[in-house]
Structure 1
Amino acid sequence: MVTAATREVFERYHACWEARDPDRIAELHTPDSVFHLHSGQDPVRGRAAIREAAAGMFSLVPDLAFEFVSLRTGEDFWVVQWKLTGTAVSGATVDVALADFVLVENGAVKEKHSYVDGVAMQAALTPPEAAEARTH
Structure 2
Amino acid sequence: MTAATREVFERYHACWEARDPDRIAELHTADSVFHLHSGQAPVRGRAAVREAVAGMFALVPDLAFTFVSLRTGEDFWVVQWKLTGTSVSGAAVDVDLADFVVVENGAVKEKHSYVDGMAMQAAVASPEAAGAETH
**Fold equivalence (TM over 0.5):** yes
Quote how far apart the aligned CAs of 1:132 are. Answer: 1.0
Partner of 1:126: 125
Partner of 1:63: 62
What SS does the aligned partner of 1:7 have?
helix
What percent of counterpart residues are identical? 87
Letter in 1 for 2:67: F
Letter in 2 for 1:102: V
Quote how far apart the aligned CAs of 1:40 are. Answer: 0.3
Aligned partners of 2:60 and 2:90: how far apart in 1?
Answer: 9
Letter in 1 for 2:2: T
Partner of 1:89: 88
Aligned partners of 1:103 and 1:111: how far apart in 2?
Answer: 5
Partner of 2:79: 80
- TM-superposition CA deviations, 1:36-90 (whole Å, max 9, x none): 0000000000000000000000000000000000011111000000000000000
Aligned partners of 1:135 and 1:72: how far apart in 2?
Answer: 39
Aligned partners of 1:116 and 1:59: how far apart in 2?
Answer: 18
Aligned partners of 1:48 and 1:84: how far apart in 2?
Answer: 24
Partner of 1:42: 41
Aligned partners of 1:75 and 1:44: how far apart in 2?
Answer: 25
- Extract unaligned runs of 5+ from structure 2: none
Aligned partners of 2:134 and 2:4: how far apart in 1?
Answer: 50
What SS does the aligned partner of 1:11 have?
helix
Aligned partners of 1:46 and 1:54: how far apart in 2?
Answer: 12
Quote how far apart the aligned CAs of 1:135 are. Answer: 2.4
Quote how far apart the aligned CAs of 1:131 are. Answer: 1.1
> Stretches of 4+ moved more than 6 A in 1?
none
- TM-superposition CA deviations, 1:78-107 (whole Å, max 9, x none): 000000000000000000000000000000
